[in-house]
Structure 1
Amino acid sequence: MGSVWVSATLALLWLLWRGPAGALELNLSDQAMLEKAQGDKVTLPCQFTVSSTDIGQLSIDWVLSGSADNDRTILMFSEGKVYEQDEALKNRAYFTSPDPTSGDASMEIANLKSSDSGTYQCTVRKAPSMQMKKIILNVLVKPTDTKCHIHGAQEIGSDIKLMCASKEGTPPLTYTWEKITGTQRLPATATADLSSGVLTMKNASQEYSGTYRCSVQNRVGTDECFLMLNVVPPSNTAGAIAGAVIGTLLGLVLLSVLIFCCCRKQKEKKYEKEVPHEIREDVAPPKSRTSTVHSYIGSNRSSLGSMSPSNMEGYSKTLYNKVPAEELERPPSHAPAKVAAPNLSRMGAVPVMIPAQSKDGSIV
């Protein structure tokens, strides 16, 4: 009797240790870590089985645990309905089975983004049982927008580097160079850095010319670029430098001449503005003899009207005696022109009656 009681007790303890999840089972053989490329889609598996002892309502939860320890509920199935919870994955995450109660709670995510990386947990509840499963998803970015270019002079004897780099791509990235024309072999002096994408070639020759291809890849994709290398004889750099120097000197000389001319012209304009024009009269003009005689005679006209014939003779002699000798001795060609009587009246002259005289000067 005692042995039966011990056996019953052990069986009860085993059931209690197994817990309520003993009847509901999840398939844990699926891969627990997945890697996918950005833009692809992925299916996170979560299959389960229930027993007749699980009589409660079935509910399913998909939760994303990010690096910030913020749990985000992606999908929920409860009471026969599906609920989308996370805005970032809305319309991109959904159950793969139209009826999750059939035993398939797997979730598919389309158009993957790098932000979708994280740990996803599938939880299935059917009272009194509950089971959960975790899957780690890494969303990687393929190498894209790969560019090639040449560093160094494409001349015989020069050292040339072929550069290759992808704008995007989740590391680690691996670069590979190959020549696809001519001998289709890389030069003997070529050394490639697989991690940086640099192909170095020493002492280049014309045999190095051709088309080269760079391929870059990571765990989820590949990309490539092409370039054309044309190695030519070195140019006459000494002549080019001498020509450049001479041209520069000539340009400086011409510029100096222009500056000098402009400054000189500016100074001349400034001088013309500051110094006024002066008209100097070095020698006074000679006095007119005619005007002297006229002024002398005109000054004595007024006295003629008051003279009587008795004293006219004496006055006439005195008048003519006072005329300057230089006026009397002037040649006839310089004698003043005669003015008509009407013109004299208009000029303001006063008519004077002079008595007639004989040849010897006596009054008749």
Structure 2
Amino acid sequence: QILFFSGDRVYDNYYDEMKGRVHFSSNDPKSGDASITIRDLKNGDTGIYQCKVKKAPGLQSRKITLSVIAKPSTPKCSVDGIQEVGKELRLKCTSAEGTPPVTYTWEKIKGGNVLPATASMDITTGLLIVKNASQECSGQYRCVAENRVGSSECTVFLSVVHAANKVGVIVGAVIGVLLGLSVIALIIWCCCRQRKEKKYEKEVAHEIKEDVPPPKSRASTARSYIGSNRSSLGSFSPSNMEYHPKAQYNHVASEDFDPPPRHTPNPPPSKVAAPSLNRMGAVPVMIPAQSKDGSIV
């Protein structure tokens, strides 16, 4: 039930597929005109329709057949098979919609207007078979789908080549892809290497290095030299105390003491008796010695 009128009211919400597209042609169906109008006709509207009129004391009905005719939809063209010399090719053409019967016609529109001599066509299925294909079969083909309402068409290009040429094309394409991947890999490697170098330079710039210890000053060198000489003399005692001139003691105790050159050895000190030194104006001195903890005593 797609439409209903009763009690001066129209009910049209019964059939969703035709909702909003069907209505009574008369503004007052009870006057005796129950004709209906269907807008935006579709293929699915094809079928048998029945009109029922109920009026006391009886019920009457009448049936009518509706056939919706639509031209073929745009067909889809495709090539099935390897496009090489000596192979068999199948050119397909199919239209999804259209009122039957639909006929299909193939024609060559580029590279010669005549179909190859080895081609056979089926007008009901839209299949074109080309046996023992040659290079002369190459060109653009058109398929026309047609019925009594209208027609639609599609095109496809056929390129038949020798097997060796096709292998060369495939090899060239593979080599091109490999070269492209190699270039991309090289760029990525260079970027990674540059990033590592920058990271290394940054780490080196922030790294804390251990400095070389500074050279000892002349004063500390002199003290160390005096301490080493004094330590060899041993601790102070009356037995190892010697008399030296006052001027010589002052020279040794100076922090600016410089050892004599190696090539000029110091002459051995001459021993003079203590009474003679007293008469000469010398005074007894104590030579500092170095204790075990390294201090001068």
CA displacement at 1:119 relative to structure 2: 3.2
Hey, what does 2:275 align to over in structure 1? 363
Equivalent pair of 2:104/2:125 in contact (CA under 8 Å): yes
Hey, what does 1:295 align to over in structure 2? 231
Q: Does 1:187 align with 2:92?
A: no
User: Which letter does structure 1 place at the counterpart of 2:231?
Assistant: S
User: Which letter does structure 2 place at the counterpart of 1:191?
Assistant: S
Hey, what does 2:130 align to over in structure 1? 201
What whole-Å deviation, never above 9, does each CA across 1:66-111 have from its counterpart, x for those lacking one? xxxxxx15143x67x5624335334422344567678654322121
Equivalent pair of 1:84/1:90 in contact (CA under 8 Å): no
Question: What is the DSSP-based 3-state SS (H/G/I as helix, E as strand, rest coil) of the residue aligned with 1:203?
Answer: coil
Hey, what does 1:278 align to over in structure 2? none
Alpha-carbon distance change, 162 to 341 in structure 1, aligned in 2, over 3 angstroms: same
Hey, what does 1:166 align to over in structure 2? 95
CA displacement at 1:209 relative to structure 2: 3.1
Equivalent pair of 1:165/1:197 in contact (CA under 8 Å): yes
Q: Does 1:132 align with 2:68?
A: no
Q: Does 1:341 align with 2:256?
A: no
State the alpha-carbon separation in 1 of the partners of residues 230 and 74 from structure 2.
115
Alignment of 1:144-293 (within 5 A): 144-169=73-98, 174-181=103-110, 183-217=112-146, 222-232=151-161, 235-237=164-166
Equivalent pair of 1:75/1:93 in contact (CA under 8 Å): no
Instruction: Provide TM-score, normalisation by structure 1.
Output: 0.44
Q: 2:12 aligns with which of 76, 80, 85?
A: 85
Equivalent pair of 2:87/2:132 in contact (CA under 8 Å): yes
What whole-Å deviation, never above 9, does each CA across 1:28-77 have from its counterpart, x for those lacking one? xxxxxxxxxxxxxxxxxxxxxxxxxxxxxxxxxxxxxxxxxxxx15143x
Alpha-carbon distance change, 241 to 122 in structure 1, aligned in 2, over 3 angstroms: closer
CA displacement at 1:116 relative to structure 2: 3.4
User: Which letter does structure 1 place at the counterpart of 2:72?
Assistant: P
State the alpha-carbon separation in 1 of the partners of residues 28 and 272 from structure 2.
172
Alpha-carbon distance change, 112 to 360 in structure 1, aligned in 2, over 3 angstroms: closer
Q: 2:37 aligns with which of 105, 108, 125?
A: 108
Equivalent pair of 1:159/1:203 in contact (CA under 8 Å): yes
RMSD between superposed Cα atoms in Å: 4.9
Equivalent pair of 2:143/2:153 in contact (CA under 8 Å): yes
Equivalent pair of 2:137/2:158 in contact (CA under 8 Å): yes
Richer in strand (by share): 1
Equivalent pair of 1:143/1:166 in contact (CA under 8 Å): yes
Alignment of 1:39-118 (within 5 A): 72-76=1-5, 81=8, 83-86=10-13, 88=16, 89-96=18-25, 105-118=34-47
Unaligned runs of 5+ in 2: 194-224, 257-269, 277-297
Unaligned runs of 5+ in 1: 1-71, 263-288, 317-337, 348-357
State the alpha-carbon separation in 2 of the partners of residues 346 and 185 from structure 1.
120
CA displacement at 1:222 relative to structure 2: 3.6
Hey, what does 1:5 align to over in structure 2? none
Equivalent pair of 2:112/2:139 in contact (CA under 8 Å): no
State the alpha-carbon separation in 1 of the partners of residues 171 and 44 from structure 2.
60
Q: 1:120 aligns with which of 39, 49, 52?
A: 49
Instruction: Provide TM-score, normalisation by structure 2.
Output: 0.52
State the alpha-carbon separation in 2 of the partners of residues 118 and 239 from structure 1.
58
State the alpha-carbon separation in 2 of the partners of residues 203 and 122 from structure 1.
61
Alpha-carbon distance change, 75 to 140 in structure 1, aligned in 2, over 3 angstroms: farther
Equivalent pair of 1:75/1:94 in contact (CA under 8 Å): no
State the alpha-carbon separation in 2 of the partners of residues 238 and 130 from structure 1.
79
What whole-Å deviation, never above 9, does each CA across 1:212-247 have from its counterpart, x for those lacking one? 2212346765422122334455553555677758x9
What whole-Å deviation, never above 9, does each CA across 1:281-321 have from its counterpart, x for those lacking one? xxxxxxxx997754222x24x213xx7xxxx9xx86xxxxx
CA displacement at 1:133 relative to structure 2: 0.9
Percentage of identical aligned residues: 43
State the alpha-carbon separation in 2 of the partners of residues 235 and 242 from structure 1.
10
User: Which letter does structure 2 place at the counterpart of 1:227?
Assistant: V
Alpha-carbon distance change, 293 to 202 in structure 1, aligned in 2, over 3 angstroms: same
Question: What is the DSSP-based 3-state SS (H/G/I as helix, E as strand, rest coil) of the residue aligned with 2:95?
Answer: strand
